Structure 1
């Protein structure tokens, strides 16, 4: 539980200098794509803020999102727990169990009424009276409604919580629902991904703590700082796409030369996430860099999009012709492909900002 001391006091007690704190705040501000001047405001906000009470609920999920955040490196999970937040309830990480665990959740809710953040990992089954998943003798739906009642905001981590994920895939036998469909009276921040990037989770919590508000979100409720660009926009293989150079199989000459994986089913052109820039495991790599196409796991209905190794229809159905043009036209093909891509990018961006989760739910 938070003892009322501010983060500035706690950090000073741990021997963290003002210079180091300002440098760290600058990193967080850049991580959230904030202007340089925001770093000082973030530092002042963090220094004055008490440790944030966080209640983490786990429903229909695989614990992959928790595994992911334990691998955060800036800030680390230890930094989050001991400096930034007071993690008052978490099914996997808490030492307490049974009645003691539930007492901790209720105590945190009462002591931080209107101020605590609820992090939800996993979708909520609402079919057959919501009986498919229960915790402490109540359904997931009941626990969600009870816990978010007096919360400041809700953070849905992972595609299961954000969009329903794998439990929501056809035929969706448990009638799994994303959190945004069930929580209507609180701000809901979606941090999608299967699992989500740990720095996206940690950075979002740091933003809420520093500024006391929700970061700018896209139409799917995701922080624009992490979900504002498609993976295709930032992919190092993008020049090969523009030139019409595509791997035809995972072991052909094009694959060995690092050519674009679009024809092998890469969903990067229609997937919005920061994988290509933040990468994974401390910035070591991401799937495309490792030779495998993007699965589109941060998008709604990614499991039902027609197969991981089937090319999507966007950004252009003209990929095949472009490859032929590249052979015949050389440098001119790059210009032609770029023009097609830019037109398709405008179309994809428009779809990205106008299609909502509710719209997608109507089609499932």
Structure 2
């Protein structure tokens, strides 16, 4: 997704938030399950499918495969670290007992910060015509990733033997990709495309009533600039008023400035058609379908894929009021603006309420990382 990005948190809201703690190095303190607020009220029966989904994916990897994670983590950074816990899962019917036996909780020191992302539902056509004039582009053939002289991976294109940055949003809007046959769908509005790219995947509602999914298939390598931050800096929006709805509202209310404003973010996302089941979310960066309310995007350099996280925060309820939300989620995605310890982006699903929650979720809280116990741990059977 945001990748899966996504793509994989409401980046423009996060970009406006103060997150001093989340940019600090990872610091952990061992804790107990009794110290997790709301642990006894968790819906444990719903956890087994996600746990098994994660283990199935991990066990497809060679034992030495890195799942990510900071050096400070005592265990769980390689696929092989999960073999004992995943083997035990095969015969488990009691999720609470399983998690408490095979995982050790560590509280992330400092405040956590949470945002949300979702799968937008957008009117579209597979052919150009009438109101459908904004193309959704597939991945260009000349978009490549290569290793720079400093050893870092970079994205760009080769031009007469020289490696150059890939076209930015403004250049693509002005026709840099015309004539390559990359159009895989057509939308009614450039604003719809912009929000589809922010989320990293989405569902297209076709004129015949059917739906298809667009999934993330790469980005141009240009820096991501949160539009909410730009609008605040330009005194167009108050920082307290930044949300997905307010940003969309500003764009639609200023059609003469809309394109120039969106082009302040040079980052551009490409898509592919995903014919997977629409009963689940799009596939995240970890390679498993996302589950609403259980999947989060994290900074993979801090938190390994598959890791369970206990979240204590607040989510907006149907009346717009923040309500306590304490649940176990799983690191299954990454996001462009999801950086640092204690930072996570909750996948809220699809539909109007999922959009509402994602667009209004920017809350602090507590994060607890659950790492698999080594087989020799005396608390594991």
If the TM-score is normalised by the length of the shorter chain, which range does it land in?
A: under 0.3
Structure number with the bigger relative contact order (C-alpha 8 A, sep ≥ 6) is: 2
If the length of structure 1 is used for normalisation, what is the TM-score? 0.25
More helix by share: 1
More strand by share: 2
